[in-house]
């Protein structure tokens, strides 16, 4: 094996290039390296052992070399013919192999051929031999297939290829390879062996060895070859695609491997060289030869003994092929046998390899026995045949397959499946079906597999949506809108419909029957013409002649009939006679009728003739008169003479006849009348007789009755038969009744109206008749002898030329010649064409003779002519409009005749010339006296017809037409409602009718319902529905009832949240499941609901009132909230989009100005900071920054020795260090503490005061360091953290913070507590105490809304501070009134407060509110305000404010003098009264609007609302105060402006004798406008009931301003001369209701007072829980007395005398304390205020406290609360 490998290796070396080129060498890495390694190691070992041998052989080889070479060359030449690329071979092999596997016999055959071929190829004996050898070795390999392969290889070695391999003959690679280089020596050896035959044993052995090695090599080659093939095959068959990459990879590997082998080879060569060098030194050539040829062949020795038997076998096998060649039959058996042998061999081999190579067990890759596998596979696997099965097999039961497609069924295209695969499938199914018997299910009737038609479509059903490519396929394509008008003016439904329709309008001529330019002659001539034409037409008709003839004929026949009747009278039956007589009567009436007609005709003719003659005469006279002739009319009368006698006879005859007829007629009439008369007379007589008889009968009956009455009474007695009697009685009764009846009848006869007595008819008056007829004849008929006249009209008269005419006539003629006419043709009201202007001829005719073709698209509705007349210029005037009839579709331009259409104009035209004008009365100058008025009139000769197309067809729309009709039908066709109305739809009959008319297409699916319905299918569809359903399916989706849903807790919460209910607004994570919702979720809400609906039960009037107020507030708040919520959801563009405003000139100007401004680095301006939204704040702290700059005018300690006090002198001792603590003693001072002597203060500086500022906010405190003196400078920045509930920094929650920033000023006092003075030198024992001096309270909201507060503030100091006084030294002597205020106890603090980071503000309430004000007023107000704000953006201007109803109210309405409370009225001193009023107002608690209402909205409540609520912000206070002042007769204004610390605020300005004062209504303080420390920073406007004054001055600080309101350059008024105050009614009540103060009230106040006191005491004890708190009752008593006093003077500086008591009593105490005054709101605010002063903070037990509370109740529950807290420390 090793040997083989080595050989192979060498071969590979040699083959390198070729293989590389072919790219097929594909050994796996492991295998190869292994091989190489083995080969290498072997070469080493063997090389050593066989050196001697090698030398020997070398010698021999040398001898044979030359021979060999020559042979080799020869063979090569032969082979070169056959050489082809190796892969061809392998490819070929593969196919062959496949075939051979299946068709063993074939292979055998081929083998035969091969054998033959081999024999043929013996020429190249060596190769073939070798090949066979190889083949033999191959056959030893386990796989039988390989065996075959090798056989095929052999085949291919044959130069002449067998038939099944048509490719050009190839030499197998192994053979070739051997042939190339390594082959020669063995060949040589073989030949020698063959030739010589006898060789020595050893030699033979070597020979054998060589043979063996050669064989082995061939075998190896074959093996590798096969391996390669197999691998290739596998690759190709399994993964066709991957082959390439594999190959590539392999190539790489190969390259690598080859490189390596190359290296190895070199190394080996070197080694062998070394070895050789050790043994002996061959020549260069020798060594070369040796290395190149010989060294491969010697390593056999080790193997020889073991391989002995093998060899033999191989030898045997060597011969075997030959045997096979001859005996193909035996081959199989041999193979079978060989299999077993091979297996054994293989095992041997393995054993051998393992044994021989020591510890390193290098195994060949384990392989299953392929043969076993194969046979097992053969058993298990089923290979269906790809031969097509006959259809007969597949169709079960049926004899013949059916082809549906041929029968016309649609059979889809079946998906393509390769035939081979299909037949395999079929085969498989068939084979399986032999066991399962279900083949029929798989095959269709046509014997094919049942296959669904190919579901794939060629074209994609939707366009591929590629992201990036532009998609033209689904682009929107623009189509022009198609006009489809249901009014169907268009014939084809649209403008550009297909049809071509044309109307031809022929305008031929116009002739005027009257024209305004007619002269009189023309009028007459025209009249004459008319009459003549009438006459002519009558003559033509000859009506009278016809009637005359008819008359004579009638007469004749009547006569004949009469005669006939007379002659045959006897013979005729009655009926016939009647008949004849009736005929005769008919004749007669006919005759009279005809005669009447004839008479009429004759009369007309005669009058016509007369008027002709008359007119002509007139004309003639006119012509004579005017001396010229205007018209060519000429009448000639032809006379025809007649015979007078004849005429007369005729006349008479006619008269006779007529008379006779008349008479006859009359007689008939008379007879008829006579008969009637007779009849009536008879009736009359008869009636008279009847009456008489009736009378008689009645009297008879009466008599009879009486008689019968007596008879019956008699009979009753005498009668025997009672029955009979009874009957008789009954009869009598009946008789009686009948009598009665008859009586009645007779009575009726008597009573009947008596008939009138008839008159006999009159007899004929013959004479009168004759006269009548004669008169008629005279009037109507030509008299006898009168000539017959025939007028003949001709135009033969010559018209006189213009020159002969009068001037007027000349003008007229000129006008006529100037006049032109044209006709416009309007189609459907639109002008479509017009004729050219044509001149009017002198005889007033215009000829056009034009035909206009109108191509129409609309249905013709009207064709109108408009006749215009122009005088040569301009468009002229409309003479007349006339309509032409729309032609019938049968009327075409070929068949139409011109028609005359008459027209006339109603225009009045009058001329100065001879023209008669139109519509104007004129007179003929001749003998015609009467006036004539004629209108311009004439006829238009024209025609309208449908045009005829080239094809002779009329261009008429095919459908019926006619304007109105058409439009209606068109509409009706499309819309049943239009056709029959909505009600008609429900009427089936109407609908049917409409359906028939509209000719709907019954096949149109749109009409399906109607057709179905009308065809009688379902009449119910037509019946109107009796119900109405909005959402018929709604119920199906109701998962729960409405109640259930509303009961749901979760639903409730979500609803409330959505409604932005304050409790639930922003409620996060509403639990998903109802059971997870906390049970008490709604508790708070429900509680609140309860509270709102019912008053909470509280004790005490005050609380009750408070509760009411709260309720009321709540209501307002709700309303405002609702409004605000609504408004906040109405966004404007500014709310949503940030957009820069367009810069205008002023903006640019200011920015330019800013550039030129001088830079002032020493005056830095605070930069506006960026606002931070709540979201951005997450996790950050918000701080309040307070920068305390300085304080001024701080009260100083009173430091007076007790001795001094005793002396009562007003002197101030020099405070030294030793008595420092004594300075704190409470020392009563009767006078001001000012040192009159002016002791230098410098020395006592430290002792005066040591103030510091402490800021408390939300119970956290920070303080500055201690300052020095009354005017300390701190310059310290204090920080306080803002604590917001729930960390919600949204504006809505921030604005609700009601915390107050307390800025307290304290004096830091060091108290020496050292008991023993002896220790003084060594010990220091001091206590630091702080004494409250004053405070400033700033609500957080003020800071929040103003963002920063900057300035100098007045510190609220108590009215008196025990132990402190003001250092009067600072007040400049001789200072103005303003300065003196300082002495009154005002300290000032300069500071700057802001929030860091700057927080965003809530959105201002910008909604334009509803208003009840007049539109005009609001408009002006807006404009006025906008104008001012533009000018002074920083000033506050207000015109309208929002009231509690959420409506805009004009601000002046808030002012009205209101009677102040009784307390004020009680004051006599006006100044005092004002102060009291201010005091009263200031005691009403203050609550910022922002805390009450959401957003930045400012609500102004009216005074009564304010009083009711008892809380409000600056505006309410100020308004109330203003109103009080107004009531007190002061001039007062509400001032809007900015103040510190409030920001935007409202003050009251009063004017008293040119002294202006500003009142802070909130605190009750007043300032002079000249006060520098006035908190007002800017004044915006002043308002009162009369007007609004806007500040337009340069300055806005009150001290700099001019308060002369009449000065228009300083103050701009809202109402002015142009816009007067209309006196708007005030919204304020006329007066406020003040509760009377009674005992109950007093007790209530007292109760409150006690409660407060109690509470405060408790609190203080609570605060000082570490120490004992003692209460000094005595002090409290004194203080209680003091407090009402303070209230009385409104908290001003108290007179010292009042304090004396206190001072006296507590000489032995160091007392520090102060009174606090605040309006009563609730307990907590009082506690807070006390706490902030820190009185309790005396960290020692030996302190006593005094607490006095005084509540002063004003009217309407306004409370002023005074709290006096003091601490007393006993002096030692």
Partner 1 sequence: MANPSVFLLMVSGQIESAEFPEFDDIYCKYCFSYGLDWAITSGLDESITQITKKSRDEYQRFVWNFPIDATFKSTSPSGWPQLVIYAYGLDAFGTDVVRGYGVCHIPITPGRHCLRLPMFVPESSSLLQKLTAWFLGRRPEYVNPRVVAQGEGREVTRVRTQGFLTVSFNIIMKDMKKLGYDILPSDVQNPTIPAGVAGTETAKAS
* H or E element at residue 791: strand 788-794
Establish if 1170 lies at the interface with partner 1 (CB under 8 A).
Answer: no
Q: Which of 1132, 1275, 1372, 1643 binds partner 1 (CB under 8 A)?
A: 1132
CB of 1290 to partner 1, least distance (A): 13
Q: Which CB, 1078 or 1529, lies closer to partner 1?
A: 1078
Establish if 1039 lies at the interface with partner 1 (CB under 8 A).
Answer: yes
Establish if 1076 lies at the interface with partner 1 (CB under 8 A).
Answer: yes
CB of 1153 to partner 1, least distance (A): 19
Give the residue among 853, 1749, 772, 1770 at the shortest CA–CA distance from 1225: 1770
Q: Which of 920, 963, 985, 1070 binds partner 1 (CB under 8 A)?
A: 1070
Q: Which of 951, 1043, 1139, 1237 binds partner 1 (CB under 8 A)?
A: 1139
- Rounded distance, CA 115 to CA 128, Å? 11
- Rounded distance, CA 836 to CA 847, Å? 11
Q: Which of 473, 897, 1142, 1165 binds partner 1 (CB under 8 A)?
A: 1142
Establish if 381 lies at the interface with partner 1 (CB under 8 A).
Answer: no
Establish if 1404 lies at the interface with partner 1 (CB under 8 A).
Answer: no
- Rounded distance, CA 1010 to CA 581, Å? 67
Establish if 718 lies at the interface with partner 1 (CB under 8 A).
Answer: no
What binding mask, one character per residue, do residues 1505-1544 give for partner 1 by CB under 8 A, x or -? ----------------------------------------
Exposure pattern of 166-196 as b/e (b: 16+ CB <10 Å)?
A: eeebbbbbbbbbbbbbbbbbbbbbbbbbeee
Q: Which CB, 763 or 1142, lies closer to partner 1?
A: 1142
Residue span binding partner 1 (CB under 8 A) among the ranges 654-662, 1132-1140, 1337-1345, 1585-1593:
1132-1140
Contact 1743, 1712 (CB under 8 A): no
- Sequence-ordered list of residues with C-beta below 8 angstroms from that of 45, at least 6 positions apart, any chain: 299, 302
Give the residue among 836, 824, 834, 838 at the shortest CA–CA distance from 511: 838
CA distances to 46, 191, 213, 219, 302 from 311, in Å: 20, 19, 10, 13, 14
CB of 1724 to partner 1, least distance (A): 33
Q: Which of 466, 481, 982, 1073 binds partner 1 (CB under 8 A)?
A: 1073
Site for partner 1 in 454-473 (CB under 8 A): 468
1132 CB-contact burial (10 Å; exposed 0-12 / middle 13-18 / buried 19+):
exposed
Q: Which of 486, 1067, 1619, 1633 binds partner 1 (CB under 8 A)?
A: 1067
Establish if 475 lies at the interface with partner 1 (CB under 8 A).
Answer: no
Q: Which of 413, 452, 1030, 1072 binds partner 1 (CB under 8 A)?
A: 1072
Q: Which of 1040, 1098, 1122, 1423 binds partner 1 (CB under 8 A)?
A: 1040
CB of 468 to partner 1, least distance (A): 6
Residues that bind partner 1 (rule: CB under 8 A) add up to a total of 30
Establish if 713 lies at the interface with partner 1 (CB under 8 A).
Answer: no
**For 215, phi and psi rounded to 5 degrees?**
-60, -45
- Rounded distance, CA 1394 to CA 1400, Å? 13
Length of the chain: 1772
Residue span binding partner 1 (CB under 8 A) among the ranges 150-158, 476-484, 997-1005, 1076-1084:
1076-1084
Residue span binding partner 1 (CB under 8 A) among the ranges 216-224, 1139-1147, 1159-1167, 1315-1323:
1139-1147
- Rounded distance, CA 707 to CA 717, Å? 17
CB of 1069 to partner 1, least distance (A): 5
Residue span binding partner 1 (CB under 8 A) among the ranges 782-790, 797-805, 1069-1077, 1155-1163:
1069-1077
Q: Which CB, 373 or 1150, lies closer to partner 1?
A: 1150
**For 482, phi and psi rounded to 5 degrees?**
-95, 125
Residue span binding partner 1 (CB under 8 A) among the ranges 319-327, 979-987, 1133-1141, 1743-1751:
1133-1141
- Sequence-ordered list of residues with C-beta below 8 angstroms from that of 936, at least 6 positions apart, any chain: 512, 514, 515, 516, 879, 880, 904, 905, 907, 909, 918, 919
Q: Which of 262, 1135, 1315, 1704 binds partner 1 (CB under 8 A)?
A: 1135
CB of 1494 to partner 1, least distance (A): 17
CB of 883 to partner 1, least distance (A): 54
- Rounded distance, CA 598 to CA 586, Å? 18
Q: Which CB, 1070 or 1655, lies closer to partner 1?
A: 1070
What binding mask, one character per residue, do residues 1112-1131 give for partner 1 by CB under 8 A, x or -? -----------------x-x
Q: Which of 1133, 1145, 1162, 1620 binds partner 1 (CB under 8 A)?
A: 1133
What does the DSSP 8-state code read for residue 573? Answer: -
Contact 1402, 1496 (CB under 8 A): yes
Residue span binding partner 1 (CB under 8 A) among the ranges 57-65, 138-146, 1070-1078, 1388-1396:
1070-1078
CB of 1037 to partner 1, least distance (A): 12
Point out which residues pair with 1327 in neighbouring strands. 1311
Q: Which of 365, 456, 763, 1137 binds partner 1 (CB under 8 A)?
A: 1137
Q: Secondary structure of 1162-1220 in the HEC alphabet?
A: CCCCCCCCCCECCHHHCCCCCEEEEEEEEEECCCEECCCCHHHHHHCCCCCCCCCCCCH
CA distances to 519, 884, 1088, 1285, 1404 from 1292, in Å: 99, 82, 21, 12, 11
Establish if 1136 lies at the interface with partner 1 (CB under 8 A).
Answer: yes
- Rounded distance, CA 1578 to CA 14, Å? 113
CB of 1075 to partner 1, least distance (A): 7
CB of 463 to partner 1, least distance (A): 17
Q: Which CB, 1079 or 1159, lies closer to partner 1?
A: 1079
Q: Which CB, 1137 or 1630, lies closer to partner 1?
A: 1137
Residue span binding partner 1 (CB under 8 A) among the ranges 144-152, 1072-1080, 1261-1269, 1408-1416:
1072-1080
Establish if 1154 lies at the interface with partner 1 (CB under 8 A).
Answer: no
Residue span binding partner 1 (CB under 8 A) among the ranges 6-14, 92-100, 1137-1145, 1190-1198:
1137-1145
Residue span binding partner 1 (CB under 8 A) among the ranges 92-100, 1062-1070, 1256-1264, 1696-1704:
1062-1070
**For 658, phi and psi rounded to 5 degrees?**
-65, -40
C-alpha torsion 1391→1395→1400→1406, nearest 10: -30
Establish if 1031 lies at the interface with partner 1 (CB under 8 A).
Answer: no
Q: Which CB, 467 or 950, lies closer to partner 1?
A: 467
- Helical H runs in 280-418? 284-289, 304-326, 328-356, 370-380, 391-394
Establish if 1145 lies at the interface with partner 1 (CB under 8 A).
Answer: no
Establish if 1075 lies at the interface with partner 1 (CB under 8 A).
Answer: yes
Point out which residues pair with 853 in neighbouring strands. 504
- C-alpha R_g of the chain: 73
- Sequence-ordered list of residues with C-beta below 8 angstroms from that of 1299, at least 6 positions apart, any chain: 1257, 1258, 1339, 1340
Contact 211, 186 (CB under 8 A): yes
- Rounded distance, CA 1118 to CA 1060, Å? 11
Residues engaged in binding partner 1 (CB under 8 A): 468, 1039-1040, 1054, 1057, 1066-1073, 1075-1078, 1129, 1131-1133, 1135-1143
């Amino acid at each position: 094996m090793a040997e083989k490998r080595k050989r192979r290796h060498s071969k590979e070396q040699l083959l390198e290039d070729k293989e590389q080129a072919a790219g097929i060498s594909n050994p796996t890495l492991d295998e190869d390296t292994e091989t190489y390694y083995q080969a290498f190691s072997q070469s080493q070992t063997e090389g050593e052992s066989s050196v001697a041998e090698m030398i020997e052989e070398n010698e021999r080889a040398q001898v044979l070399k030359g021979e060999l070479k020559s042979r080799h060359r020869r063979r090569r030449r032969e082979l070169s013919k056959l050489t082809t690329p190796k892969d061809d071979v392998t490819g070929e092999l593969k196919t062959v192999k496949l075939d051979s596997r299946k068709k063993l016999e074939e292979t055998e055959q081929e083998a035969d051929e091969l054998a033959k071929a081999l024999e043929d190829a013996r020429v190249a004996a060596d190769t073939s031999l070798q090949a066979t050898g190889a083949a033999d070795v191959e056959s030893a390999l386990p796989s039988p297939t390989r065996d075959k392969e090798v056989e095929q290889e052999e085949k291919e070695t044959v130069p002449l290829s067998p038939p099944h391999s048509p490719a050009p003959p190839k030499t197998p690679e192994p053979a070739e390879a051997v042939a190339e280089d390594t082959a020669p020596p063995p060949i040589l050896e073989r030949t020698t062996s063959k030739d010589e035959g006898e060789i020595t044993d050893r030699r033979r052995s070597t020979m054998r060895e060589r043979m063996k090695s050669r064989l082995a090599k061939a075998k190896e080659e074959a093996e590798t070859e096969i391996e390669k093939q197999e691998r290739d095959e596998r690759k190709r068959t399994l993964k066709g695609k991957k082959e390439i990459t594999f190959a590539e990879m392999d190539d790489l590997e190969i390259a690598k491997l080859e490189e390596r082998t190359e290296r190895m080879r070199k190394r080996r060569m070197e080694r062998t060289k070394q070895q050789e060098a050790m043994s002996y030194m061959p020549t260069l050539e020798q060594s070369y030869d040796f290395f190149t040829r010989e060294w491969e062949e010697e390593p056999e020795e080790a193997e020889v003994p073991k391989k002995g038997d093998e060899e033999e076998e191989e030898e045997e096998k060597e011969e075997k092929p030959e045997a096979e060649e001859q005996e193909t039959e035996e081959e199989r058996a041999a193979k079978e046998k060989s299999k077993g042998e091979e297996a054994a061999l293989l095992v041997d081999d393995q054993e051998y390899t393992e044994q021989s190579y020591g510890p390193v067990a290098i195994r060949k890759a384990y392989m299953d026995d392929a043969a076993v596998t194969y046979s097992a596979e053969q058993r298990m696997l089923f290979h269906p045949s790809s031969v097509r099965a006959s259809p007969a097999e597949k169709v079960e039961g049926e004899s013949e397959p059916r082809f549906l497609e041929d029968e016309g069924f649609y059979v889809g295209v079946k998906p393509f499946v390769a035939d081979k695969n299909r037949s395999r499938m079929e085969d498989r199914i068939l084979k399986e079906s032999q066991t399962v018997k279900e083949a029929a299910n798989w095959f269709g009737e046509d014997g094919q597999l049942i296959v669904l038609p190919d579901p794939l479509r060629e074209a994609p059903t939707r366009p591929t949506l590629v992201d990036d490519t532009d998609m033209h396929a689904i682009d929107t394509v623009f189509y022009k809108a198609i006009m489809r008008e249901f009014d169907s003016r268009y014939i084809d439904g649209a403008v550009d419909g297909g049809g071509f329709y044309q109307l031809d309008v022929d305008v031929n001529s116009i002739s005027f029957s009257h024209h305004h330019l007619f002269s009189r002659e023309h009028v007459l001539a025209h009249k004459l013409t008319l009459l003549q034409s009438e006459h002519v037409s009558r003559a033509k008709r000859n009506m009278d002649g016809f009637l005359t003839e008819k008359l004579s004929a009638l007469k004749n026949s009547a006569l004949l009939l009469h005669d006939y009747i007379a002659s045959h009278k006897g013979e005729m039956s009655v009926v016939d006679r009647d008949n004849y007589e009736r005929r005769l009567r008919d004749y007669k009436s006919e005759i009279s009728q005809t005669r009447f007609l004839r008479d009429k005709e004759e009369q007309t003719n005669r009058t016509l003739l007369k008027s002709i003659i008359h007119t002509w005469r007139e004309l003639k006279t006119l012509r004579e008169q005017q001396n010229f002739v205007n018209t060519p009319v000429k009448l000639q009368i032809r006379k025809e003479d007649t015979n007078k006698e004849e005429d007369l006879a005729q006349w008479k005859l006619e008269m006779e006849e007529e008379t006779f007829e008349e008479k006859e007629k009359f007689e008939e009439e008379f007879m008829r009348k006579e008969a009637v008369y007779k009849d009536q007379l008879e009736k009359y007589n008869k009636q008279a007789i009847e009456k008489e008889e009736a009378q008689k009968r009645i009297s008879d009956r009466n008599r009879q009755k009486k008689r019968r009455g007596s008879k019956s009474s008699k009979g009753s007695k005498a009668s025997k038969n009672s029955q009979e009697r009874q009957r008789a009685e009954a009869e009598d009764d009946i008789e009686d009744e009948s009598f009665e009846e008859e009586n009645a009848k007779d009575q009726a006869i008597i009573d009947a109206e008596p008939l009138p007595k008839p008159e006999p008819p009159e007899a004929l008056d013959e004479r009168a008749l004759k006269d009548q007829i004669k008169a008629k004849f005279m009037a109507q008929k030509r008299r006898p002898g009168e000539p017959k006249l025939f007028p003949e009209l001709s135009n033969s008269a010559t018209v006189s030329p213009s020159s002969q005419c009068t001037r007027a006539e000349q003008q007229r003629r000129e006008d006529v010649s100037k006049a032109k006419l044209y006709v416009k043709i309007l189609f459907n009201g639109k002008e479509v064409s017009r004729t050219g202007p044509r001149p009017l001829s002198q005889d007033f005719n215009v000829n056009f003779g034009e035909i206009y073709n109108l191509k129409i698209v609309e249905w013709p509705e009207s064709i109108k002519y408009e006749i215009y007349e122009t005088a040569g210029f301009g468009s002229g005037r409309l003479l007349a409009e006339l309509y032409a009839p729309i032609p019938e579709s049968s009327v075409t331009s070929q068949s139409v005749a011109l028609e005359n259409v008459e027209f006339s104009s109603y225009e009045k035209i009058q001329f100065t010339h001879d023209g008669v004008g139109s519509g104007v009365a004129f007179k003929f100058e001749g003998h015609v006296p009467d006036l004539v008025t004629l209108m311009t009139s004439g006829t238009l000769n024209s025609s309208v017809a449908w045009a005829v197309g080239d094809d002779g067809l009329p261009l008429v729309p095919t459908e019926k037409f006619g304007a109105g009709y058409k439009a209606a039908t068109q509409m009706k066709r499309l819309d049943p409602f239009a056709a029959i109305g909505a009600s008609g739809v429900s009427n089936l009959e109407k609908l049917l009718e409409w359906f028939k008319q509209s000719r709907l297409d019954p096949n149109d699916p749109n009409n399906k319902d109607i057709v179905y319905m009308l065809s009688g299918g379902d009449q119910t569809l037509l019946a109107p529905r009796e119900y109405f359903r909005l959402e018929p399916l709604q119920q199906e989706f109701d998962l729960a009832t409405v109640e259930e849903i509303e009961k749901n807790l979760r639903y409730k919460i979500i609803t409330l949240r959505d409604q932005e209910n304050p409790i639930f607004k922003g409620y996060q994570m509403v639990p998903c499941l109802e059971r997870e919702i906390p049970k008490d979720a709604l508790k708070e809400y429900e509680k609140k609901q309860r509270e709102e609906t019912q008053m909470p039960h509280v004790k005490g009037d005050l609380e009750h009132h408070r509760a009411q107020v709260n309720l009321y507030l709540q209501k307002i708040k709700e309303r405002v909230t609702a409004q605000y919520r609504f408004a906040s959801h109405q966004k404007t563009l500014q709310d949503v989009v940030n957009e820069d405003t367009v810069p205008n000139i002023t903006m640019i100007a200011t920015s330019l100005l800013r550039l030129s401004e001088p830079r002032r680095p020493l005056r830095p301006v605070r930069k506006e900071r960026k606002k931070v939204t709540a979201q951005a704040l997450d996790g950050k702290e918000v701080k309040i920054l307070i920068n305390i700059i300085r304080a001024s005018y701080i009260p100083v300690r009173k430091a007076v020795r007790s001795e001094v006090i005793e002396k009562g002198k007003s002197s101030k001792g020099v405070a030294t260090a030793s008595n420092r603590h004594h300075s704190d003693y409470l020392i009563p001072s009767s006078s001001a503490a000012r040192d009159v002597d002016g002791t230098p203060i410098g020395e006592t500086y430290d002792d005066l005061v040591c103030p510091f500022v402490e800021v408390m906010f939300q119970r956290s405190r920070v303080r500055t360091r201690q300052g020095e003196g009354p005017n300390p400078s701190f310059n310290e920045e204090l920080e306080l953290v803002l604590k917001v509930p729930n960390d919600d920094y949204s504006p809505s929650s921030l604005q609700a913070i009601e915390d107050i920033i307390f800025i307290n000023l304290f004096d830091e006092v060091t108290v020496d507590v050292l008991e023993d003075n002896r220790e003084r030198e060594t010990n220091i024992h001091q206590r630091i105490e702080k004494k409250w001096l004053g405070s400033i309270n700033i609500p957080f909201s003020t800071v929040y809304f103003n963002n920063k507060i900057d300035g100098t503030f007045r510190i609220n100091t108590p009215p008196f501070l025990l132990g402190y006084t003001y250092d009067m030294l600072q007040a400049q002597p001789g200072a103005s009134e303003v300065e003196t205020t300082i002495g009154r106890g005002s300290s000032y603090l300069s500071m700057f407060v802001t929030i860091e980071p700057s927080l965003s503000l809530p959105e201002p309430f910008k909604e334009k509110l509803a208003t009840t004000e007049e539109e005009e007023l609001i408009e002006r107000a807006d404009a006025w305000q906008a104008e001012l704000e533009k000018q002074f953006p920083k000033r506050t201007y207000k015109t309208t404010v929002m009231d509690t109803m959420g409506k805009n109210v004009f601000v002046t309405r808030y002012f009205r003098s209101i009677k102040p409370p009784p307390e004020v009225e009680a004051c006599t001193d006006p100044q005092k009264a004002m102060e009291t009023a201010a005091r009263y107002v200031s005691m009403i608690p203050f609550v910022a609007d922002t805390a009450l209402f959401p957003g930045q909205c400012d609500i102004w409540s009216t005074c009564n609302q304010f009083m009711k609520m008892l809380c409000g912000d600056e505006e309410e206070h100020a308004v109330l105060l203003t109103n009080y002042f107004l009531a007190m007769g002061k001039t007062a204004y509400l001032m809007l402006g900015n103040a510190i610390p409030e920001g935007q605020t409202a003050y009251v300005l009063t004017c008293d004798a040119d002294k202006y004062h500003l009142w802070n209504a909130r605190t009750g303080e007043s300032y002079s406008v000249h006060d520098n420390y006035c908190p007002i920073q800017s004044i915006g406007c002043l308002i009162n009931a009369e007007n609004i004054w806007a500040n337009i001055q340069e300055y806005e600080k009150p001290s700099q301003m001019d308060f002369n309101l009449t000065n228009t350059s300083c103050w701009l008024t809202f109402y002015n001369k142009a816009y007067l105050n209309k006196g708007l009614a005030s919204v304020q009540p006329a007066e406020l209701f003040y509760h009377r103060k009674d005992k109950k009230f007093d007790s209530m106040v007292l109760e409150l007072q006690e409660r407060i006191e109690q509470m405060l005491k408790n609190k203080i004890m609570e605060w000082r829980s570490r120490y004992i708190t003692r209460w000094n009752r005595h002090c409290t008593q004194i203080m209680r007395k003091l407090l009402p006093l303070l209230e009385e003077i409104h908290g001003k500086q108290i007179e010292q005398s009042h304090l004396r008591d206190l001072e006296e009593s507590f000489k032995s105490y160091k007392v520090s304390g102060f009174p606090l005054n605040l309006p009563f709101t609730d307990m907590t605010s009082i506690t807070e205020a006390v706490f902030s002063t820190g009185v309790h903070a005396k960290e020692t037990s030996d302190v006593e406290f005094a607490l006095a509370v005084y509540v002063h109740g004003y009217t309407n529950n306004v409370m002023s609360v005074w709290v006096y807290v003091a601490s007393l420390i006993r002096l030692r």
